[in-house]
Amino acid sequence: MKPDVVVVGAGLAGLSAAVRLAEAGASVRVLAKGVGSTHLGAGTIDVLGYDAHGGRVDRPLEALGGLPAEHPYGLVGRAGVSAAIEWFKGRVADGPRAPYAYVGDAEQNVLLPTAVGAVAPAGVVPETMAGGDLRGGGRVCVVGFRGLKDFFPALVADNLSRGPDGVTARGVELDLRPEGRADPNALAYARAFDDEGFRADVVAQLVARVAPDELVAFPAVLGLVSPHEVWAEMEHRFGRAVFEIPTLPPSVPGIRVYTTLAQLLTRAGGRVVLNNVITGAERSGDRVRTLRVRVGLREVTYAPEWVVLATGGFSAGGLELDSNWVTHEVALGLPVAGAPAPGSERFGADYFGGQPMDRVGVRTDHEQRPVGEDGGRVVENILVAGATLAGAAPWREKSGDGIALATGLRAAELITGDAAGHVGDVATAGA
């Protein structure tokens, strides 16, 4: 009832921390303004896709050593990253979508098509996407649906054909719409794929249009409830590798991640409570005693032993830059590090080329407690995880999932006392 731990934020970092804590026997409540960004991402767990110079990373664990000294991966080290990936794979395999599983590891990236047919490195991926690793080249039939306006098979195929060596692709569009929706999106198609009749229609329309030597790519809509079964059936029917390509939001593989973690949390006795916005905290001594939370028109208080702050970065509203050019950590007003000095440039001219605000966030000590400018710990019982942390540029590095997962889990383990000792920075950790 009265939770020992309040986790703030229902994204990958917050949910992972909450599941880990609840499964260790802690009473946990996740308070969040709304559902996190899992619904928007591709559903892959990417550890590191690009290095500091923008070069594509093939072996992410090895490449961690090249990251800046204050990168959040330094909190967890290579061993922490690997352990987090294995934990995630294990929980998915044991979760409500089983036998749906993730494949791969943090040692080696794969190269998967994106929603527009570019290729990008990915870390640990749903089994339903693994067949899309195009490093070896190949011929691909990209299947789309006339009713699914968020996925254009011709565009994807065209871009793929210009992309990796030895890949030729062509698009095929099926005229099949799920019933019962005005404007079917990826989720509507995924629900349709859970239905045997719809799958039979897909196979019937498609089977004659696929060449014998082509792999078959679908938008990532191969089932919401039973993705493993749907995907396996498709592979069986077509007798070859079938794989999903991520779509624009809503992301069905991302929804699978959210429902998996949320249901694991419920199973372990924890709970996500939405529309709860942290407005402040009262502290006594070096600990926060109560959290003030706005629920509707009312303010309530929580008095947890521990708080895991996983509210995200600027895009999620965990951090903000106000009109006076001052950066804030929104929920608790923790010190924010890495912001450009007053008077200096805030924004660079090249959007994708690195921005002065890139690595802004809450800096912590090695036990994930927030620190002030002098490096001293400012509070004992708040641990920070995920995109709120300073030091990373996740959208350029393609490192957000790995950071969220690994720092979320480590925050949980620091609370339960299961954490390994300080791992040192990534340059030396595991080396």
Binding residues vs other proteins (CB under 8 A): 1-2, 29, 32-37, 39-40, 179-183, 185, 187-188, 191, 249-250, 255, 263, 266, 271, 273-283, 288, 292, 294-299, 316-317, 320, 328, 330-335, 372, 378-379
Nearer to other proteins, 69 or 182 (CB): 182
Nearer to other proteins, 34 or 99 (CB): 34
Rounded Cα distance between 2 and 13, Å, is 22
Q: Could you tell me the smallest distance in angstroms from the CB atom of residue 343 to other proteins?
A: 21
Q: Could you tell me the smallest distance in angstroms from the CB atom of residue 185 to other proteins?
A: 7
Q: Could you tell me the smallest distance in angstroms from the CB atom of residue 317 to other proteins?
A: 7
Nearer to other proteins, 65 or 280 (CB): 280
Q: Which residues contact 207 (CB under 8 A, 6 or more apart)?
A: 237, 238
Name beta bridge partners: 125.
103
Q: Could you tell me the smallest distance in angstroms from the CB atom of residue 103 to other proteins?
A: 25
Nearer to other proteins, 39 or 359 (CB): 39
Rounded Cα distance between 341 and 44, Å, is 35
Rounded Cα distance between 132 and 243, Å, is 6
CB atoms within 10 A of CB 1: 4
Q: From residue 210, how far is each of 141, 147, 274 by CA, in Å? A: 7, 20, 45
Helix, strand, coil % in the chain, rounded to nearest 5? 30, 25, 45
Q: Could you tell me the smallest distance in angstroms from the CB atom of residue 280 to other proteins?
A: 6
Nearer to other proteins, 19 or 332 (CB): 332
Cβ-based burial of 136 (10 A; exposed 0-12, middle 13-18, buried ≥19)? exposed
Q: How do beta strands 102-103 and 28-32 pair?
A: unpaired
Rounded Cα distance between 122 and 195, Å, is 29
Cβ-based burial of 2 (10 A; exposed 0-12, middle 13-18, buried ≥19)? exposed
Nearer to other proteins, 206 or 332 (CB): 332
Q: Could you tell me the smallest distance in angstroms from the CB atom of residue 151 to other proteins?
A: 14
Is 11 within 8 Å of 37 (Cβ atoms)? Answer: yes
Q: Could you tell me the smallest distance in angstroms from the CB atom of residue 43 to other proteins?
A: 13
Q: Could you tell me the smallest distance in angstroms from the CB atom of residue 101 to other proteins?
A: 21
DSSP state of 206: H
Phi and psi of 28, rounded to 5°? -130, 140
Nearer to other proteins, 188 or 393 (CB): 188
What the block records as the tokens of 14 is 């917050």
Q: Which residues contact 120 (CB under 8 A, 6 or more apart)?
A: 49, 111, 112, 114, 398
Nearer to other proteins, 140 or 332 (CB): 332
Nearer to other proteins, 183 or 213 (CB): 183
Q: Could you tell me the smallest distance in angstroms from the CB atom of residue 281 to other proteins?
A: 5
Is 95 within 8 Å of 264 (Cβ atoms)? Answer: yes
Nearer to other proteins, 53 or 298 (CB): 298
Is 89 within 8 Å of 101 (Cβ atoms)? Answer: yes
Q: Could you tell me the smallest distance in angstroms from the CB atom of residue 295 to other proteins?
A: 4
Residue type, 259: T
Nearer to other proteins, 108 or 259 (CB): 259
Q: Could you tell me the smallest distance in angstroms from the CB atom of residue 182 to other proteins?
A: 4
Closest of 163, 216, 224 to residue 194, by C-alpha: 224
Q: Which residues contact 99 (CB under 8 A, 6 or more apart)?
A: 93, 228
Count CA within 13 A, CB hemisphere, residue 294: 10
